[in-house]
Amino acid sequence: MLYPEIETRDSGWLVRPDGHEIYWEETGTPDGIPVVFLHGGPGAGISPNHRRYFNPKKYRVILFDQRGAGKSRPFGSLENNTTPDLIGDIEALRVDRKIEKWLVFGGSWGSTLALAYGQACPARALGFVLRGIFLCRPSEIDWFMAGMGDFQPEAHQQFLAAVGLTQNPGAAALLDIYGRYFAGDYGDDAACQAARAWSGFEARCCTLLPDDGLVDSFEGDEIALALARLEHHYFVNLGFFGDVPLLTGIDKIRHLPATIIQGRYDLVCPPVNAFDLARAWPEAEMVIVDDAGHAASEPGTIRELVRATDLFAARPEYS
């Protein structure tokens, strides 16, 4: 259901004033509808399959690794790594690629960043395709740390055992313990093992049916070390949103077309998040995929993501 594999037309690193270097790729047609792809995590990075949600004859696709992720440098860095910094990177990339406006496509943490970017720069968004909604609220972080394991108890036991626990001490305490591991209090090897346990736990909860390939990918050094440290960093800082929840700013973007795609059995970002967003944004199209969990790689979710981008490309202004 994905479009055929496609190579990049161009790629490079965008050097930011604070020393971060943001890796980006461009594919599709130069004259197509611009779209920016925002990956999850934070820290997960982009992959070749992410290029394939878009008709290459219709879209000009810009993908990039967010700060600390993938090929962006320095890898795994928490310094100057906040949501406002990421929004600044998106805008700098838009200007660098000489794009006036673009469709904003994001899943999981990418949906969080898409909403934050849209609210900060509403004049630069053509619309939104959002999947696996995460609003970075305290209740959602508590769920990840302390609730999700009720549905994947074997995986949760591994998550606890990696930091020397047999019982869950509660979300806040578990975040604190993992933070000490990631800070290197128990040595570099223990920090790496904790990162792989964190990322593996998430991967085991991502899909409706087990996907060993996804787990292996998440536990590999290319993803695990950045994903775990950056997710923890953003969790403990509540996404750097302060006292202003994302849902309060929907009025800034509600005039723009949007599709919300949510797996019915999403354990990582439960469907209630998407329903809360849809209640705040009734003009958006809401699609529940009844045979999917959280991952963008599940067949039903792929079908709806491709349908959403195809429908956007078929709008009269682009036909």
State the pairing for strand pair 33-38/102-107. parallel
State the pairing for strand pair 33-38/125-131. unpaired
Tokens of 271: 């469907």
Q: Could you tell me which of 75, 80, 69 has the C-alpha nearest to residue 16?
A: 80
Place of tokens 């928490």: 78
Report the catalytic residues: 108, 266, 294
Question: Can you count the helices (H) and strands (E) in the chain?
Answer: 10, 8
Q: Could you tell me which of 104, 100, 98, 99 has the C-alpha nearest to residue 86?
A: 104
Query: DSSP states of 188-250 as a string?
Result: HHHHHHHHHHHHHHHHHTT-SS--HHHHHHHHSHHHHHHHHHHHHHHHHTGGG-TT--GGGGG
Q: Could you tell me which of 138, 132, 97 has the C-alpha nearest to residue 304?
A: 132
Question: Cα dihedral sign for 122, 92, 278, 249?
Answer: negative
